[in-house]
Structure formats: C-alpha cells, structure tokens
Chain A
C-alpha cells in the first residue's frame, strides 16, 4: 500500500515536473496567438472584405505602372467635390482653370490651348474621350459622375496607348463606381458653398430580384460664379464660371452583365473675353453634354481566364455662344456647335499561358455615327461660317504578355496596332520589367510609346475668321522611360520614388499664322525629365500623413524654352487626424506650385494653397456632414490663360468654404 502510494506520488510528481517544464518552455517562447497554426484559428481569424465593385468594374490596379489610388474614404475625408480637386492632390499633378473649365497637367505638361487631349479618363473602363475635340477637359462639375458615387480613382502615370490607343500619352485615370450592392439604399445630400454654389444629389440602390441590382443617381447644381478684376483691362468681370447643370447615372448588374448609363448637361458662363468675345458679357457661355450607355459582359474562364465584351453608344454635344464685337458697336451672336455620336465594341480575353504567364488579347472598333462641327451667326443676321462633317472609323488590336521570369522578376510585353479612316496606322509598344526582391520592395523599369491622333476639331475647324483647318496634321508621338522604386517599411510607412523622361514629337499646338488666324500645327518637340518622391506614413494611431515632391524640367525643344504652364516643382502634404473614434476626421492639405510661364512668356507667380476639411462618418446613424475651406490662408493667385483669352491670367478666388449635409438610410 505504502509502495503504491509512493509510486503514485512519484508519478504525480513526475507529471508535475513534465507539466511545469512544458509550461516554462511555452512561456519563454514568443507569445503566439491562438490563430497561429492551430486548427481552430480559421474560425476566429478576421478575413478581409472583398469589394463587389471589383467584380464588374474594370480595374487598372494590376497594371505594371506607377499607380496612385484615391479611395472613397479619402474622397470623403478631403472633401473632393470634383475630379479636378481630387487630381490636384495627386503627386505630380496640377490643375489650371480658365473660367470655362479645368485642365489637368502632369509631369510638367499642360499646354494652355490644350483640351487635355493627352489624358485618358474612364468610368469603369469606358473611355470618355469625345470624337470631335478628342478631349477630356471635363474635370469640374462638367464631369458627369458625382464624387459620391466613386469607389476609387485609379491614376496610372505614363503611356497607355499599348492597351487603349490614341490619347493615352501622359496618364490614364479610371473611376470605379460603387457597386449597387454596396451603396446605401437611399442617400440624399445637399451642398452649399461660397460663390453661390448649390448642389443636391439623390442616389438609391435596389434589389430587383433574380440577382439584378440597380443603382440610380441624379444631381442638379448651380453656381452664380464670381467677380474678378483684370488689371490689364482695368475692368471687373462678374459671373465668371457661373454654371448650372445636372448629372444622372445608372448601373444595373445582373449575373455576368453590367449595364451603365450616364446623361449629363453642364452650362458655364465665360465673361472673360473668350475667343475675342465682349469682355464682361455674360451671354458668352458654353454647354457640354456627354451621354453614354454601355452593356458589358464578363465571364471567368478557368482559374485565371477572363473574358470581357462591351458594346456602347456615346453622344457628345458642345454648344458655345460668343458675343463678338463688330464695328459700330454691333455685337454678333456667334454660335459653335459640335455634334458627336459614336458606337463601338470592345473585346478582351485573358488567359494563362502555361509556364509563361497571363496573356491578354483584344480588339475594338468604333464608328462615328455623326461628327459635325458648325459655326454660325444668329444676329445681327444669320450667317454660316462652318458646317463640316468628318466621320471616322477606327479600330485597334492589342496584346500584352506577362512573363514570370523567376520568383522575383516579371516582364510585361505589350503592343497595340491602331488604324482609322482619317489617320495613319500606328503601333504602340510597351515594355515593363518588375523586380520584387522582397514582399515589401519593388523596382519597375518602364518604357512605352504612345500617340495622339489629331482631333476632328484640330484638323477640320475652319470658320474663316478665327481658325484655319489643317488637313496635313500628323499624330503626335511620345516615348516615355521611367524607373520606379516602391518600398514598404513595416506597417506604417510607404516610400515611392521615380525618375522619368519623355519626348513628344510632332506636338500639335495652336499657332498664329501670317494671316492672323489660329491654326493647329505639328509645330514642336517637347522633352521632359523629372523625379518624384512620395512618403506615406502613419506615425501615430491618431495621425496619417503623406508628402510628395515632384521636380521636373519640361522644355519645348523646338524653341529651346521651358514649356508654358509648366511648374518646375510641385510639393504636397496631406494629413488626417481621426477623432471621436474615427467618426470625425480633420484633414489639412497643402500644395505648392512653383512659378510658371504664361502664354506671353511672362512669369505667373508661384502658388501656395492650404485647404482644410472636416468630415464625419456615421456620426449619427443616418446623418453625416462635410465642411471644407479652400485656400484657407486667402492667398491671391492666378492661372495663366491661353491666347484665346483677352488677358494673360485669370485671378482665382480667395478663401472659399462649403458645407455638405448627407442623409443616408439602409
């Protein structure tokens, strides 16, 4: 008995020793959470939420390029009301306005008489370039999609002609809209701001049954504009940028289909002597309409295969009115009219080539149904100066192969062949080499060749009094070389650095001919080089920051001069301070633009702008607000104007403010 008791005690003691040893070892090793390796950890892990918007909307995030993404949260935190505001706060980008619209520059390039023809802007992959002006100059309220509907904005720097053809020279911007299944059931917002700005927006999503989900949205806006004194003329103009209009958008998704429709109208007053019109005359105005409908079908083939087909119809209308002074005090009521209708279809198929990588092939064809430009006088007597139709048919074939050379090296080779009835053929190659030595570091070596066909406006517009046509215009051609480095330092810091050089040949610019009229010509060559640095960090739980610096030198090689409207340095700083458990954010933003040359080669002073925004997120179950101050310090500054205007600069507003009230209900 005693032996058995002793034996039991010895076993217990041994068990205790073993147990204690196990516990001691476990205690001394780094604490591992239950999630690490245990079978049940799967039940407790937080898993990342997948956005439904990624399913139907075409995304460019995986493009082997220098990419910036502006998220919905950032749009809300910084109070971006227009695409121009959002892009003005992207590294290396800057925005100029001339009273009729906004013009975006990147990497030192933003010609004053340009209509942003060297950008591609898309909504869910649908290209918005019109067929008359070949432009994308609508970045303000003239841009048809309200920022409230944007899930994210993908900004891809560099050429994209290898995938998208003409106009993808300096950057491509893709707006991905919120999915109908993500949007709140009903959302109403009103906005009020300085300069008499008002806007009301309504959006709703609904489930129609059988997997069909619909998002609809509509907004109306108006602004009474502002007054500005023009020292060169000694006069004040009022109602500058007075505007009104509406936006509508609808997106129906059903199984593999996504159907989009957008109908918009925008009218703006331009009393600044536009194209020689009477200064201060508020009858001089323009109206832009860009409508489109699109049906897109996507289907997954196997694990990585992806088929996408879309068919679309676009409609563009431009109506301009200019009150020109004639002799004896008579004023001519002159009208510009552009009518563009085109339809097209695009097909792409991506699949994995065994032992190589993803191959994407595709084709698109577009038909001009109407491409009309008219200019005529209504008063004092009707007179037609221009009535030209220049319909075009254009198509493209493209392919891009991704090569997984090794675990750390990936190559992308792509090219696109474009041809059209009105222009010569062009091949746009693109090469990218991506080296990822670790999961936190990437080096990108990028080369691309891009082109821009002259627009119907540049080629055919001839009113005999202001502009001459030029049927011998050739495409612009651009080469871009870029090296980029991306590095993540821990969870809180991201560094990006890049260096680039681009050359543009056959640059199309408006020049004054011997007859005194304007004409678009392949007049010059441009070359630019620059470096960009960006640091994003979260130094504390209560602070997020980003800072960027872009230094560039863009020159007109033909004239041996710096390009007009090209700042040598752009610096930006953004911060967000979350308060009240993330329900309120305060977001200051600073932007610096160094001095630029105006059209007359005179210097436009540097610009330093400070903005501040306060935004709530579910502060109350159904209500939120955004309050913003722009140009907080009230600096007076100007943007340079193109020769089509009477003055060399447009004074821009001082301090302005806005408030937006949002009501949303599930």
Chain B
C-alpha cells in the first residue's frame, strides 16, 4: 500500500524520464513469489525502478489502471495467467511469464509481447529421465488432446529423438482418466502426465497414483507436489530461475535487442519419490543426488 501511495503521488514521467517497471503477480502463492524474487534479484543491477502489484489484494487490483496511467512504465511484467489476461488490453508493453497456453496468446496478437512459458517440453523431460532412471525406453503419454499444445506427431518425434518408444493414451476428461492410464499397462516403462488441471488435480491424483502402484506404471509428474503425492519422477520448472530468465528477456527488450516471442524454461528441477521408486524397484543416479541435481523426496 505504501508503494501504491508513492506511485500515485509520483511525478509524471515526462519530467524525469525515469525507467519504471511494474510487476503484477496473479496472487501471492509460493511459485509466483519465487519467480518474483528471481526477477527482482536479476534486475537489481540494471536501471529502472520496480513496483509490484499483487492481484490477490483487491485494493491493489483496483488501483492498477491508475497506476499504469500515472506511472507510464516502460514495460509491465505479468506473472501468471490471471495477470496476463488482465493486462492483455493494457496500453503498455507486457511481458508475460509463468504461463501456459503461450502459443495461443502469441497468436492472438497484442499483449503480451513476449512470454516465458512454464511448459517443459517432452524433449527436456525425457532428457532428464534418461539420466535419472537409466534403462527405461518406453514412455506413455497421457493427455487430453483437446487442451492444445504440441500435436501427437510432434510429441512422438520428440520422444523418438531421445531414444524412447512412445505410446499415447488420450483421455477426454477426468472421467476417462483411469481407463486411459490403465490401457498403457504392460506397454510402457513410465507414463508422462503433462500439466493439465482438469485431468490431474487433488481429486483425480489419488486414484491415479493407486492405479500407478497397482498396475506398476510409474508416473512422470510435472511438479514437486505431484512427486510427493506419488509420481515416481518429476521434471518441472525452476520458478526462481524463470524469474531471472524473465529479467534477462526484459533487459533485452529495454535495450531494443531482438527477443523471441516465446521462451521455455532454461532450467528445470528433477525430483524422485524414494518410496515409490523403491516400490517399483527403480534405481536412480546417486551421483546426481550427491551433486544436488536431483531432489529426493522421502
């Protein structure tokens, strides 16, 4: 609130040409806070002043238009899809970060100008899986094709390039999830579950993990929480580094340097669930654990 008060009484830009950057977070959840921390730390050395707005604070959200109008920031950073959607029509350059569905946003034109996506490609996932759980060669892909993202052909090609034989199981909604998952039984070594909140959420994850154990189908999850819940392995973005990556993208924009409209996470984290791995008889790289490259969840 003090920040806002200062902003609203700040002198118009025209007088001093100060470089201002407004960072709007969709909420105060830990992931966004980590990204914000990564961004602010990376921007510390650069020019400009940072101002943050948390949309979960109703007062801050209401004053956002006045803030944007009054401060005339060079760029607004939208952390999370809620912030990105809110700022889609804003008369200011927006860089969105910590979002999925970035292809659709980029295609629709206007804001955001650039995006740092949360999507970890199958290529990256399998690259890590090969190191963490060597010897696995068949991967199942459980997804809802109606949700968008890479096509089945693209995913298949990515898997093959990494030396995996892909098998696909499509689930048109959570009601078909278990049937689709079980259909991969005896056909694959691991099942990749890409992030999709309608398919994988607190309601569906428990029966899915039980099915995973009963049918001996280890899951590759998309978050540390999923690994704690019972996925054998998880490959997921490093949120703090996404913040730093966003800062680098912002600095390139401010310097009028060319920047790709969409970036994917440059760093990922890997976690394994030790008890699940033990139940499946899967071994993981101890040297990677010693190096800190794998988080072991007990």
Contacts and interface: CB of A to CB of B under 8 A. Distances in A.
B279 A211 contact: yes
A300 B81 contact: no
B174 interface: no
A300 B214 contact: yes
A50 B210 contact: yes
A620 interface: no
A31 B230 CA distance: 31
A40 B101 CA distance: 9
Contacts of B236: 43
Contact of A181 (B58, B100, B182, B275): B275
Instruction: Tell me which of B197, B226, B280 has the highest count of chain A C-beta atoms within 10 A of its own C-beta.
Output: B197
A33 B65 contact: no
A256 B215 CA distance: 9
B56 A43 contact: no
B178 interface: yes
A39 B210 contact: no
B201 interface: yes
Interface stretch (A16-24, A410-418, A594-602, A644-652): A16-24
B213 A23 contact: no
B201 A55 contact: no
Interface string B226-256: 1011100000110000000000000000000
A40 B89 contact: no
Contacts of B206: 48, 50
B164 interface: no
A27 B30 CA distance: 22
Contacts of B31: 43-44
A24 B55 CA distance: 12
In this complex, the interface size class of chain A, counting residues with CB under 8 Å from chain B, is: 35 or more
A539 interface: no
Instruction: Tell me which of A43, A207, A256 has the highest count of chain B C-beta atoms within 10 A of its own C-beta.
Output: A43
A257 to B, nearest CB: 12
A39 B27 contact: no
* Majority SS at the chain B contact face: helix
Given A27-B61, A34-B29, A38-B197, A43 B223 contact: yes
Contacts of A666: 298
A55 B210 contact: yes
Interface in B58-78: 58, 61-62, 64-66, 68-69
A303 interface: yes
B64 A23 contact: yes
Interface string B183-200: 000000000000111001
A42 interface: yes
B228 A42 contact: no
B205 interface: yes
A18 B195 contact: no
A55 B230 CA distance: 12
B65 A211 contact: no
A44 B81 contact: no
A42 B223 contact: yes
Given A26-B61, A38-B82, A181 B279 contact: yes
Given A34-B29, A212-B281, A41 B211 contact: no
A253 B279 contact: yes
A536 to B, nearest CB: 22
A223 B214 CA distance: 44
Interface of B: 26-27, 29-32, 55-56, 58, 61-62, 64-66, 68-69, 80-82, 86-87, 89-91, 98-101, 118, 147, 178-179, 182, 195-197, 200-202, 205-206, 209-211, 213-216, 222-223, 225-226, 228-230, 236-237, 274-276, 278-282, 298
Interface of A: 11-12, 15-16, 18-20, 22-24, 26-27, 31-35, 37-50, 52, 54-55, 179, 181-182, 207, 209-213, 253, 255-256, 298-300, 302-303, 306, 666
Given A55-B279, A300-B215, 19 more contacts: A16-B69, A16-B91, A18-B89, A19-B91, A22-B89, A33-B56, A34-B80, A35-B29, A38-B80, A39-B147, A43-B223, A47-B200, A47-B225, A211-B281, A212-B281, A253-B279, A256-B216, A303-B178, A303-B179
Question: Would you list the 3 A-B pairs with minimal beta carbon distance, nearest first?
Answer: A211-B281, A300-B214, A20-B65
